[in-house]
Amino acid sequence: MKRRRLLLLGPALGWWAVFLVVPVGLVIAYSVFQRGTYGGVVPTFTLDNLVRAFDPLYLRVFLFSLRVAVITTVIALVIGYPTAYLIATLPRRWRTPVLVLVILPFWTSLLIRTYAWIVLLNGEGLINHGLESLGLIRVPLPLLYNEFAIVLGLVYGYLPLMILPIYSSIERLQPELREASADLGGNPLRTFLRVTLPLTLPGLAAGCIFVFVPSLGNFIVPDLLGGGLSIMVGNLIQAQFLKARDWPFGAVLSLALIAMMGALLFVQAWLQDRDRRQAIDA
């Protein structure tokens, strides 16, 4: 039994130990070392990198990333919930094909899908050209290389991750509950607010996390649609490693990113646990 466990679990856990745990441990160590001249580190203890992360210059980048991730999540939720609701209440045989239709773009290259938006949003791009030929605008709208383009690209990239968990929580819901509420005189809005929404909150929370997490640390979308400046944490980390060659500071920024996500996941797990305990008590 023990041998079998080792044979089955060993390879995966071993791989993750070497290529995930050790490298992340190394990042933690690097965060308190001094930078090497051409990248790398000099193993002399320092807290300078940590202090530097609180420079308003970098705090602003963190705040901007948080803001973009929050706006993206809220928009994805507002668009995604009704979509998931519709799919989950379709006749059974339609649900999977329609769900696949909505999820499919997510499984294709984010790089390519983000590129497609450059074609659409460009000054000479399709949207501006269309509006100009309709006579609605004279000068091209500044659609690309700004916050709007980043949020649009992120919502586009991760909307399916919002729809999927909400869909499964609505689908699992017994239709009898909604019918009971209607029979008891609840109008559709009231039924939704008092029955459906509270019961699908776990799916909604999961969807928000699935969208928020990859948005916060994103590199490719702000890089291509935001104009290539170090505007979000992901870009800043990339620049510290590949351009400024300041690995220790890049390490500190990465740890800050993981800490923010870890805190979020912890809060979510705690809330879920509390709900479960309350449900048992009741």
Partner 1 sequence: MRSWAWGRRLLRAEFGLVVAFLYLPIVVVVGLSFNASGQPTAWTGFSLDWYASVLANDALLQAFRNTLIVGSVTTVIATVIGTLLALGLERTVRSSLLDSLVFVPMIVPDIVLAIALLSFYNLVFAGLLHLELGLWTVILSHVVFDIAFVAVVVRTRLRNFDRSIEEASLDLGANERRTFFNITLPAIAPGVIAGGLLAFTLSFDEFIIAFFTKGTVETFPTQVYSMIRFGVTPEVNAIATVVLLISITLVLVSQRLREADV
Binding residues for partner 1 restricted to 13-42, rule: CB under 8 A: 15-16, 19-20, 22-24, 26-27, 30, 39-40
Residue of the chain from 241, 245, 268, 272 that contacts partner 1 (CB under 8 A)? 241
Site for partner 1 in 254-273 (CB under 8 A): 254, 257-258, 261, 265
What is d(CA 265, CA 212) in angstroms, rounded to the nearest whole number?
11
Beta bridge partners of 37: 39
For residues 15 and 54, which CB has a smaller minimum distance to partner 1 in the complex? Answer: 15
Site for partner 1 in 173-192 (CB under 8 A): 187-189
Residue of the chain from 159, 161, 166, 252 that contacts partner 1 (CB under 8 A)? 159
Closest CA to 71 of 153, 184, 9, 185: 153
Closest CA to 220 of 267, 156, 136, 160: 156
47 binds partner 1 (CB under 8 A): no
Site for partner 1 in 98-157 (CB under 8 A): 100-102, 104-105, 107-113, 115-120, 122, 124-126, 129, 156
Whose tokens are 């990333």? That residue is 65
> Which range binds partner 1 by CB under 8 A, 52-60, 168-176, 240-248, 274-282?
240-248
* Tokens read off for 52: 């530097």
Instruction: Tell the smallest beta-carbon distance from residue 210 to partner 1 (Å).
Output: 9
∠ CA 99-162-71, nearest 5°, is: 145
Q: How far is CA 71 from the centre of its chain?
A: 11
* Tokens read off for 224: 């291509």
282 binds partner 1 (CB under 8 A): no
Beta bridge partners of 42: 34
For residues 50 and 79, which CB has a smaller minimum distance to partner 1 in the complex? Answer: 79
The number of residues that bind partner 1 (CB under 8 A) is 77
* Tokens read off for 241: 């490693």
Site for partner 1 in 50-109 (CB under 8 A): 79, 82-83, 85-87, 96, 100-102, 104-105, 107-109
198 binds partner 1 (CB under 8 A): no
Closest CA to 118 of 252, 259, 220, 236: 220
